Structure 1
Amino acid sequence: LAGQLKDLYSQRQQVLAQVDALVEAHPLHLVLTSMPGIGVRTAARILTEVVGKDFKTAGHLASYAGIAPTTRRSGTSIRGEYANRGGNKRVKSSLFNSAFAALHHHPSRAYYEKKRGEGKTHKQAVIALARRRLDTLYAMLRDGTYYQDPETIRSGTG
């Protein structure tokens, strides 16, 4: 049993090395990993699930990922919005985890704290942060540009 576990572990390491090599060979790899909170694994997930699909707007991508709110309606009655339970669960999970990891980065943390100050729960604030980051990510992928820190842009040093 121990030998089988060692073999599985070494096979897993080989597969991960191959995934890393494939991701690093992709032209959008540096664009994706330039954003804080997105590493090789998250970039791999985004490349396999999102890149190549034609999303007209960031809202379409957010809906596909399942982080856009859904309107509750029946006939002419509209009863507000609620969290979308659909969407691509793998992309949604990756975006949520990268937003959580980005809380150590100042602009993301400031946005999270702003949402908490508005009375949002932790999960609601992280989902709002994930949506905001997805909008930025959409523009980065569309234009092929690297992430730029908003504070650097405002100060004019970037």
Structure 2
Amino acid sequence: MQIITDRSQAPTAIRTNLGAIFVSLELSRSTWLITSLSPGGGEKMSKHTVRSGDVAGLRARLSQLKDKVQVRTGQVVPVIVIQEAGLDGFWIHRLLQDERVESHVVDPASIATSRRRRRAKTDKIDGEALVRALLAYKRGEPRVCAMVRAPTPQEEDRRRICRERKTLTAERVEHVNRIKGLLFAQGISDYEPLLRKRRERLEELRTGDDRPLPKHLKAQIGRELDRLELTLQQIKSVETERDAMLSPSDEGTPAPGAMLKNLKGIGPEFAGVLWSEGLFRSFSNRRQVAAYAGLAPTPWRSGSVAHEQGVSKAGNPRLRTTMIQLAWLWVKHQLRSMLTLWFHQRVQSNGGRVRKVLIVALARKLLIAFWKYVTAGVVLEGVETTAA
């Protein structure tokens, strides 16, 4: 069946009496598209383009919009700005807030779009859609979009420690694998680049056909070792900063990250990721905690059809990956924990075939338990600490 719709009378916006200038910012590397809807200007949205990073041009445009509204209506109205969360981060949002402009950052995936196979997508269309979403949000329509809570500069800077360590660890693996690959092609498979005597051991190596290492190959491996040693030094420095972050702020007052580290099976890296990536935020209920990590279930129910599609994965991927890794370690180290017993009971009742599915459910339950532990001090039953 072909559906024919009449778009000739479709308005570009919805009339509102909120008495404000609604502005959306479409940000790219080259230009910023400023789309606005002003009181007294009808339903037509005006568009203005400035060069990317031109803060002065943005200020001038917002000031010009306010002056035009004042001339038309004789009133001074506020400006409300919306932008998508993306590559530009939150510095524009903070800049607008410092200038007392109401600013919002929206999750772009939460804005409803056409489900047609081929739909038009341009900066102009996206800018108008952002303005309409902002209008509906300010009217109080529930779940029209999801606004992002921007972290403070201190919170944003703190989480870089664990992220940098993960990057450096990946670089360490690359250097080690490259060195081993070069030597394996010469018949050498017992060289460990991470040992302390790696330089001395390199001088003693002989190829599989009993020849000394070729001159250029030895020089290349030496340069790889230089980069490897620099990476190891940087990892040590980052871990020192991480341990300082997890240390108690005041004598006798444990930091939330230190509280997690005291649980058996959770090391400083896991504790740092859990705290800096998620648990430092304020959540209203356990559903928000699970949804932020992308561990919330996504049911599909329509009429007689009812089945689960798995977790949404629409959350913090670093936190979700860490929690699933931690869930496997939790089952291994916290044998008397109530959640461990629940996991084994469910696995046995299903014949041991759903371990990977249940481990995700365990990760969700663990994250909620950690949230209650660091915020309210609620200790999970049967949990062992490192002191014990």
Task: State the identity %.
Answer: 22
Answer yes or no: is the 8 Å Cα contact 1:140–1:146 preserved in 2.
yes
Q: CA deviation at 1:15?
A: 1.1
Answer yes or no: is the 8 Å Cα contact 1:65–1:87 preserved in 2.
yes
Q: Counterpart of 1:83?
A: 310
Distance 1:12 1:30, change over 3 A: closer
Q: CA deviation at 1:35?
A: 3.1
Aligned equivalents of 1:47, 1:151: Cα separation in 2: 19
Aligned equivalents of 1:39, 1:95: Cα separation in 2: 13
With 95-104 and 118-127 compared, the bigger mean Cα shift is at 118-127
Q: Which blocks of at least 5 consecutive residues in structure 2 are unaligned?
A: 1-222, 250-254
Aligned equivalents of 2:379, 2:265: Cα separation in 1: 11
With 9-18 and 101-110 compared, the bigger mean Cα shift is at 101-110
Q: CA deviation at 1:6?
A: 0.9
Aligned equivalents of 1:146, 1:10: Cα separation in 2: 38
Q: CA deviation at 1:78?
A: 5.7
Runs of 4+ in 1 over 6 A off after TM superposition: none
Distance 1:103 1:52, change over 3 A: closer
SS at match of 1:83: strand
Q: Counterpart of 2:243?
A: 20
Q: Aligned ranges for residues 44-83 of structure 1 at < 5 Å? A: 44-73=272-301, 79-83=306-310
Q: Aligned ranges for residues 101-140 of structure 1 at < 5 Å? A: 101-104=329-332, 105-106=334-335, 107=337, 108-119=339-350, 121-140=354-373
Larger Rg computed on CA atoms: 2
Aligned equivalents of 2:305, 2:292: Cα separation in 1: 22
Q: Which blocks of at least 5 consecutive residues in structure 1 are unaligned?
A: 153-158
CA RMSD of aligned residues (A): 2.4
Instruction: Flag the structure with higher strand content.
Output: 2
Instruction: Flag the structure with higher helix content.
Output: 1
Q: Which has the higher contact order (CA 8 A, sep 6+)?
A: 1
Distance 1:111 1:125, change over 3 A: same
Answer yes or no: is the 8 Å Cα contact 1:31–1:146 preserved in 2.
no
